[in-house]
Amino acid sequence: MPSSRTLKPAPVSVGVSIPKLEAGEKVTGRARYVDDIAVPGVLHGRTVRSTVARGRIIRVELDPAFDWRGVVIADHKDIPGENVVALIADDQPLLAADEIRHAEEPILLVAHEDAERAEAARMAVRVEVEPLPAALTVEDALARTALVHGDDNVFKEITIERGDVERGLAESDLVVEGEYRTGWQEQLYIENNGMIAERDGDGLLVRGSLQCPYYVHKALMRIFALAPDRVRVIQTVTGGGFGGKEEYPSMIGGHAALLAWKSGRPVKIVYDRLEDIAATTKRHPSVTRMRVGVMKNGRLVAVDADILMDGGAYVTLSPVVLSRGAIHAAGAYRWRDARIHARAVATHTPPNGAFRGFGAPQTLFATECHLDRIAERLGMDPLALRLANAVRIGDVTPTGQVLKESVGAVDVLTRTAAMADWTRTRERLTRENAAAAAHETRRHRRRAAAPRPGSAPAPSARRLRRGIGLSLALHGAGFTGSGEVRLASRAAISLGADGRPVILTANTEIGQGTITAFSQLVGEALGVPPSFVIVHDPDTRAVPDSGPTVASRTVMVVGGLLEQCARAMRERLELFAETPIAGADEFRRVAKRFLRERGPLKIERQYEKPPGITWDDDTYRGDAYSVFSYAGCAVEVEVDLDTGETTVLNVATAHDIGRAIHPVLAAGQVEGGTVQALGWALLEDVRWKDGRVWNHQLTNYIIPTSADTPPIHVEFVDDPYTYGPRGAKGVGELPMDTPAPAVVAAIAHATGVRADEIPVTPERLLAALAAREKS
């Protein structure tokens, strides 16, 4: 038997930073994004949207002065199935019929073969709406100034309890309270949302820029009352997603498909940047109130957290975003007693949805900021406080989960502190800030005492201060609780006619390196180079449903299934050949002979939870995730006391992601997530007027550029996870969790002002500095 033979050494690719397999097509321009795809006879679709936050549609009128010849028009009455965008709840219509629940809500669709005429047609539609009172904030919603959902405007409510919080607070030496706010954030992927739809016989073919083909497939089945085999969804090359293309493509895909269904012609809808920012989902803003009991020696005893997230006008993914946020609210720390109460609230604003981190960055921001507040009250080093309380193997989370393996919280903290030279840097900056303040005071006194007659005041030197802050976070890999079991994800590998292995999954490449990482895992398991492996396009007619490309699950969960498939295929082929297989040439020779003599070969595996994992959805007790990843982050900043501008000078971050399948791609994920988090912390301020985003363009919605990006030093702590492929855990979302609280801590160290709300824009910081001067 082959298993008893001495196997030839397999090519090693896992853990090696091979060239990114799809990079060549992208850098040479051969990759075709949705707007690059030319379809004969295509119509260009446009969306007529509400301009008010809440109202009742009185009538829709077409301007009689406009030439409507060649224009296809579709509204809710043209929907052959259900007027619903299927997701968690059936509350969001594809097109508004009577009621408007948020600004930018789709009402009518138009299409024309000329894109400019389609836009002109959109502008020639007049929608008369009777405005109604709107609840635009969570405070308004909870006060029930207007009802958005049910009788209390609460989409979802979660309570997690362990121990006796009131007793813990009473027994603590010190109870520290605080409130923390985070704002909306736009995903701002480089490629805007875009979809192409066309009739495919008696069914539909929809292609586009998306993360989750089977989400769109499920939604289209309901909208058009079609059987699964009559709906086909294919992902095109996608220029970024960050969660923004998780659920929203079901909406734009449904719109394109409805126009195609009615017209009988292909329809392409591609948003411009203004529409994309104004109308699509964003990160949920949050308010978190915390009470923490702590002993004088720094031992954390009890945490009581109350969390509010603004879900917008429809449920979308708010319940699961809230769930992850609630579970992560205790941070990477031991608590004897914990109570976490979380609510997702409905408002008359555009629905919020998935964004990298999925609720955890919001609550971890509050927890980490609160840890710094506690350290300040105790007169304790923030690093020492975290090290004293960071979780270790055997500790228990608020859901009752026992942490059994791959718990790198202490390791990432110590590694981060060493990279940043934490103690000496903090002491040095404290001395330098004190010296700068003293120098400025002396200079001010000299000028005040001896002004020069007849001379203009000398220009003031810039008043700069520097500070350093640190944070720690954990992030669950995969779907929360029983989510992975319910998904029952399937992945497969088949043999192509040319004898090469073909990966079959619905998981998408959106820039993060899925194609390369999957090819490395499969190639090494089969004994062939990664470049020999073919990855089939995500196509619902050809690939099984391996679940969505979200939740830091792609490599750990789906990559694990593919590794199982590859091992099984290798075993099958070696049994057939009666000899070990190593190398592409030998694999191809054996595979072709197998195809000739035995016929097609396809190996499929379905997800099975690791042993010992239990979860109760009703009580929120048990193993919330099979494993957590961990990260520490130290950020050094410089603050201009006169302009309020904060410049990030340096970032040091260590991550425990189990084992990095591709170290360079993993480091790229960390660097990209870090920059995105720095933007959330300092720059990205979504501004609203009457329920509408008014800064929906890149001239006034500011994100970090390469000029704003500091040196980012990344290290990985190798702590493999038994049930991850080659020991891998999740990495994609974790980098979003730590930089923002570290920035706030660094600003506090530099200025003495502790911000409780992000982004810390210059205006907010100047106001806080002025308030301190008055107090």
Q: Render pLDDT for 289-345 as a digit per residue (tens, 0 to 9).
A: 999 999 999 999 999 999 999 999 999 999 999 999 999 999 999 999 999 999 999
Sort strands 267-270 and 43-49 into parallel, antiparallel or unpaired. Answer: parallel
CA angle 137, 141, 146 (to 5 degrees): 110
Q: Which residue has the tokens 């090819």?
A: 519
What is the rounded average pLDDT of the residues 735-741?
98
pLDDT at position 458 = 54
Distance from C-alpha of 562 to C-alpha of 594, rounded to nearest angstrom = 21
pLDDT at position 452 = 63
Dump pLDDT digits (tens) for 140-185.
Answer: 999 999 999 999 999 999 999 999 999 999 999 999 999 999 999 9
Please classify residue 115 by burial: count the beta carbons closer than 10 Å to its beta carbon, then call 0-12 exposed, 13-18 middle and 19+ buried: middle
Report which DSSP code applies to 163: S
Which range (8-12, 398-402, 477-481) has the least confidence? 8-12
Q: Which residue has the tokens 């302009």?
A: 643
Dig out the tokens for 273 from the structure.
Answer: 């940047």
What is the rounded average pLDDT of the residues 174-197?
98
User: 239 CB contacts (<8 Å, ≥6 apart)?
Assistant: 33, 189, 190, 191, 209, 510, 511
What is the rounded average pLDDT of the residues 472-482?
96
pLDDT at position 443 = 85
Predicted confidence band of residue 6 (pLDDT cuts 50, 70, 90): very low
Q: Are 290 and 370 in contact (CB under 8 A)?
A: yes
Three-state secondary structure of 385-396: HHHHHECCCCCE
- The percentage of residues in the chain with a pLDDT greater than 90, rounded to a whole number, is 95
Kindly list the distances between the CA atom of residue 550 and the CA atoms of 22, 186, 217, 244, 540, in Å, as whole numbers in the listed order: 20, 17, 17, 10, 17
User: 69 CB contacts (<8 Å, ≥6 apart)?
Assistant: none
Dump pLDDT digits (tens) for 272-292.
Answer: 999 999 999 999 999 999 999
Report which DSSP code applies to 558: I
| Statement: residue 29 has pLDDT above 70 | yes
Half-sphere exposure (Cβ direction) of 647: Cα atoms closer than 13 Å: 13
What is the rounded average pLDDT of the residues 5-30?
83
**Which of 419, 295, 281, 290 lies closest to 364 in space, CA to CA?**
290
CA dihedral angle for residue 76, residue 78, residue 80, residue 81, rounded to 10 degrees:
0
User: 540 CB contacts (<8 Å, ≥6 apart)?
Assistant: 213, 214, 217, 231, 232, 233, 234, 506
Predicted confidence band of residue 451 (pLDDT cuts 50, 70, 90): low
pLDDT at position 11 = 67
Q: Are 224 and 80 in contact (CB under 8 A)?
A: yes
CA dihedral angle for residue 753, residue 757, residue 758, residue 759, rounded to 10 degrees:
-70
What is the rounded average pLDDT of the residues 76-82?
98
Amino acid, single-letter form, for residue 562: L
What b-and-e string marks burial along 187-199, b requiring 16 or more CB atoms within 10 Å of the CB? bbbebbbbbbbbb
Dig out the tokens for 87 from the structure.
Answer: 């997701």
Distance from C-alpha of 287 to C-alpha of 56, rounded to nearest angstrom = 31
Sort strands 490-495 and 501-504 into parallel, antiparallel or unpaired. Answer: antiparallel
Q: Are 382 and 375 in contact (CB under 8 A)?
A: yes
Could you give the angle at which helices 560-577 and 584-598 cross, rounded to 10 degrees?
70
Three-state secondary structure of 714-770: EEECCCCCCCCHHHCCCCCCHHHCCHHHHHHHHHHHHHCCCCCEECCCHHHHHHHHH
Contacts for 453-460: CB closer than 8 Å, 24+ residues apart: 460/642
Predicted confidence band of residue 605 (pLDDT cuts 50, 70, 90): very high
Q: Are 45 and 111 in contact (CB under 8 A)?
A: yes
Three-state secondary structure of 338-379: EEEEEEEEECCCCCCCCCCCCCHHHHHHHHHHHHHHHHHHHC
Predicted confidence band of residue 454 (pLDDT cuts 50, 70, 90): low
Distance from C-alpha of 107 to C-alpha of 224, rounded to nearest angstrom = 18
Please report the beta strands in 50-202, taking only residues with DSSP state E, as ranges in sequence order: 55-62, 72-74, 99-100, 106-112, 125-131, 154-162, 174-182, 194-200
Q: Are 359 and 731 in contact (CB under 8 A)?
A: no
Distance from C-alpha of 775 to C-alpha of 770, rounded to nearest angstrom = 9
Q: Are 348 and 334 in contact (CB under 8 A)?
A: no
pLDDT at position 455 = 57
Backbone angles phi, psi at 237, to 5 degrees: -55, 130
CA dihedral angle for residue 45, residue 50, residue 51, residue 52, rounded to 10 degrees:
-170
Distance from C-alpha of 219 to C-alpha of 96, rounded to nearest angstrom = 16
- The percentage of residues in the chain with a pLDDT greater than 70, rounded to a whole number, is 97
Predicted confidence band of residue 453 (pLDDT cuts 50, 70, 90): low
Amino acid, single-letter form, for residue 551: A
Dig out the tokens for 406 from the structure.
Answer: 């791959």
What is the rounded average pLDDT of the residues 72-82?
98
Q: Are 586 and 468 in contact (CB under 8 A)?
A: no
pLDDT at position 3 = 37
Kindly list the distances between the CA atom of residue 604 and the CA atoms of 386, 492, 508, 522, 542, in Å, as whole numbers in the listed order: 44, 4, 18, 13, 13
pLDDT at position 444 = 80
pLDDT at position 448 = 77
Dig out the tokens for 570 from the structure.
Answer: 């290798």
Predicted confidence band of residue 51 (pLDDT cuts 50, 70, 90): very high
Q: Are 509 and 558 in contact (CB under 8 A)?
A: no
What is the rounded average pLDDT of the residues 32-56?
98
Dump pLDDT digits (tens) for 560-594.
Answer: 999 999 999 999 999 999 999 999 999 999 999 99
Distance from C-alpha of 143 to C-alpha of 344, rounded to nearest angstrom = 14
| Statement: residue 208 has pLDDT above 90 | yes
pLDDT at position 445 = 85
Please name each of the domains of the chain with its CATH number.
23-32+489-606 (3.30.365.10), 41-132+193-270 (3.90.1170.50), 138-183+282-382 (3.30.365.10), 408-445+462-475+627-774 (3.30.365.10)
Amino acid, single-letter form, for residue 570: R
pLDDT at position 375 = 98
Kindly list the distances between the CA atom of residue 530 and the CA atoms of 18, 134, 497, in Å, as whole numbers in the listed order: 9, 55, 18
Kindly list the distances between the CA atom of residue 429 and the CA atoms of 228, 434, 443, 467, 600, in Å, as whole numbers in the listed order: 62, 8, 21, 6, 67
Q: What does the mean pLDDT of the chain come to?
A: 96
Predicted confidence band of residue 446 (pLDDT cuts 50, 70, 90): confident
